[in-house]
Chains A and B, each alone.
Chain A
Amino acid sequence: MSELITITMDNQTFQVPAGITILQAARQNHIEIPTICYHDHCTANGLCRICVVEVEGARTLQPACVVGVREGMVIHTSSERVIRSRRTILEMLASSVDLSEAPEIQSLMEQYASNTNRFPDAEPRHPPLLDDNPMYIRDYAKCILCWRCVQVCAEDAQYAYAINFSGRGYETQISTFYQIPMPESTCVFCGQCVGVCPTGALKPKRQWLLEMGYTPDEIMSLTRSQRQRRKRREESPAAF
């Protein structure tokens, strides 16, 4: 049993174990702090800042997913400053990314009364859809740069290191080495990146084709050549 410390959150006093994050402390005590980039099984990097809270004595708002609780900490999870940041971040997301397949973010926008058209002349990110392998498609116009795919491809899970970033700042995109097609990269097609993608930017190819209205039979014939190529590749080593 770890040591208990006392914190104040939204004017309520709680005893929580030392060493946990503000987010964990909030969840234990049924106080809701929203998250976007955070994933229970990925390294938390504090990227989206939607989980920021006001900690008394701190100059800036603090990301609850990575900041640990301290004895006597006084936390406000929905002060005016906090709400302004959350609402504005959501509005900026809506102006940058296609969120049509991100229902969780959509409901946050509703909750924070975010105006989806706050930035009418903003330039959204709209890179072309990448369909370069038989397993999944990459539609980075839906990518919110949560880094989960890069992380699970690397040390958080698979150690395949097929993807990293291109560009920087607003122009950042997830990319393979010199943007080579996925089959030429070190991708092992484990599917972990697709599994952790929160916005439909990464999607199983079959699902994508089904959504476009193709029937299962059509999909089988569409992808036949790809499957045959794959089969031939797999058979060829046996000849040696």
Chain B
Amino acid sequence: MSVTDLNPLLQRLEAYRHQGRTALLPALHDAQELFGYIPQNAAEEIGRALNIPLADVYGVIEFYSLFYSQPIGKTIIHICNDPACAMAGSETLFKQIRFSLQEVKTTGDTPTLAIEMAPCLGLCEHAPAVLIQGKAYGHANQQTWQDLVSGKGERPSSVLGGTVSILTANCGLGHTVHLSEYLNFGGYQALRKALHSTPRQIIEEIKASGLVGRGGAAFPTGLKWEAAANAAGEIKYVVCNADEAEPGTFKDRVLMEDDPHSILEGILIAGYAIGAQKGYIYIRGEYLIPYQAMKQAVEDAREAGFLGNNILDTDFDFEIEIRRGAGAYICGEETALFESIEGKRGFPRLKPPFPTTHGLFGKPTVINNVETLANVPVIIRKGAAHYRKLGTEQSPGSKLFCLSGDVVRPGLYEVPFGIPFHHLLYDLAGGMRPGHRFQAALFGGAAGAFATEQHLDVRLTFEDLKAAGLPLGSGVITVFDETRDLRDICLRLARFFAEESCGKCYPCQMGTQRQFEIMQRIASGNIQKHDWDILQDVGWTMTDSSLCGLGQTAASAILSAMKHFPHLFKSD
């Protein structure tokens, strides 16, 4: 039996000991990093140090796909398998690399590589994307695998477009905006202004701005803040949901990588408004560069007095802690995210009670998406009235759209709410690739719905899209030309949900698996007479009866494909 030297881990565990269970994911990340997997004796030490039942420690390891309870390989390569990357050839890439690795193995060279297909890595504008030991590389098909593995591959930089740059004002400079630069751009002035107002005034301003959540649910931000501010209790939290994992979404990654301080400023203002003392930023495990950028920003902000006690010489004290996810889409669901920070499997909780009264550690909590929080300094600096000059009455401000797939210029587009879809697609993103025409677009990611030619004129607002039966979601638009088999796209979405279902409630636990199995058959051309009815029953059962938003939307795209392209699902 191999003996693992646990000393490096034991040293790190000392720092976590007083925190208890909430330090479980950080401790497991450390073990995974130190040993390449989590050996049983390491898990025992972690359980002992943090006072967690060992069965629970194992349950947590098993829940998150970036934790391995068995040795897997010194270098782990993840290749994205979701629509945008698949259309750019990620499956061929996977086969090529696997083939090359087998060659290497037989010659006994570096036998310590492991390769896995992964869910969307949030690099859709650089498709096909890969992660190598957690580091992101784009356009992986244009590089040799040796370059990729040795770290010489192309590191993706932001691709920006659009007609306004408000949220993305400091993005696309080719580097992460440092604190000094951010201050030169007028950074932290909104915080200064906020601290000279009352919390109530801040909440009123956010309410007046009409800002709604950008993570997908579009809940009014001001109302959420107000509810948390009014909730009983001294201890409150602000959580920044940076677990961006909806296939096709990459906006939060760009914001965090390029302009992290704008997000910190938003969190600080939220904290002041609701009377919180602490904030958490929960970043998906696959986002190593954004994690490093945010971590540096937090350290710099603390050094400069924007975090800590008596911020800007006021009575306001605030701290921010960054947490990394570990490969679980479900943790983007707000209550599952809380469970994850608390050191548990990412099971969503029953609602009510809602986070504003019973959130993280059972305390009143505001949880907002990265882009939502990035809007906050903009609103506070110039006022709600100015903010509302852009966009429509019901959808004020600007919105980030993540365009990928068969468009000439995939990238992150910032536009005012209200422009028509065709303007974004044809005028801003360069339209379809030469010689091809538009077939469909997936709005809102895997949990979204398909748009067809008849939707090209739809205005991009919450109200117009809702009327058209399309979700705005988190701003994902994945475009497909006439050569794409939408059944294959649906199969990928079905596989995504089957892999990402947490397994808590029956409709989603079994429904995502059955949906995947049926789509496998349909995509291979073997359509049976009852498939239509079965897919409808499974889909509507998940939609109607699942416990959380994941299950409730796990059939959404497929049901919309069945509506718009029924012939694809019928045998005759």
Give A residues with C-beta under 8 Å from B: 45-50, 52, 60-61, 63, 66, 81, 84-85, 87-89, 91-93, 95-96, 118-119, 121-123, 145, 154, 161-172, 175-178, 185-186
Contacts and interface: CB of A to CB of B under 8 A. Distances in A.
A95 B511 CA distance: 11
B560 interface: no
A84 B56 contact: no
B144 to A, nearest CB: 35
Contacts, number: 149
Report which residue of B43, B507, B510, B547 has the largest number of chain A beta carbons within 10 angstroms of its beta carbon.
B510
B457 interface: no
B507 A93 contact: no
Contact of A122 (B56, B512, B514, B543): B514
A93 B507 CA distance: 9
A46 B513 contact: no
B288 to A, nearest CB: 23
A73 to B, nearest CB: 14
Contacts of B547: 46-47, 49, 63
B502 A177 contact: no
Contacts of B345: 165, 168
B55 A186 contact: yes
A84 to B, nearest CB: 6
Contacts of B544: 52, 60-61, 81, 84-85
Interface bin, chain B: 35 or more
A175 B43 contact: no
A89 B502 CA distance: 17
B540 A84 contact: yes
B510 A92 contact: yes
Interface stretch (B83-91, B201-209, B224-232, B493-501): B493-501
Given A47-B506, A52-B545, A169-B503, A186 B54 contact: yes
Contact of A88 (B62, B512, B537): B537
B521 A121 contact: yes
Contact of A169 (B43, B56, B57, B500): B500
Nearest to B62: A166
B58 A166 contact: yes
Interface string B352-365: 00000000000000
A95 B538 CA distance: 13
A119 B507 contact: no
Contact of B58 (A48, A88, A164): A164
A165 B59 contact: yes
Q: Which 10 A-B pairs have the closest CB atoms?
A: A161-B53, A164-B59, A172-B503, A170-B513, A169-B501, A177-B54, A92-B510, A164-B55, A88-B541, A85-B545
Interface in B337-379: 345, 350
Given A88-B511, A169-B503, 11 more contacts: A46-B547, A47-B504, A87-B537, A89-B510, A123-B517, A164-B53, A164-B55, A164-B59, A167-B62, A168-B328, A172-B503
Nearest to A172: B503
B538 A165 contact: no
Interface in B46-75: 53-59, 62-63, 69
B534 interface: yes
A168 B145 CA distance: 32
A172 B505 CA distance: 11
Contacts of A185: 54-55
Given A46-B505, A48-B506, A169-B509, A177 B545 contact: no
Report which residue of B62, B511, B552 has the largest number of chain A beta carbons within 10 angstroms of its beta carbon.
B62
A48 B508 CA distance: 10
A222 to B, nearest CB: 29
10 contacts: A47-B547, A89-B507, A119-B514, A122-B517, A164-B55, A167-B503, A169-B513, A170-B509, A172-B503, A172-B509
Nearest to A163: B55
B19 interface: no
Nearest to B547: A46
Interface string B529-566: 00000100110110111110000100000000000000
A48 B503 CA distance: 11
A161 B56 contact: yes
A121 B513 CA distance: 12
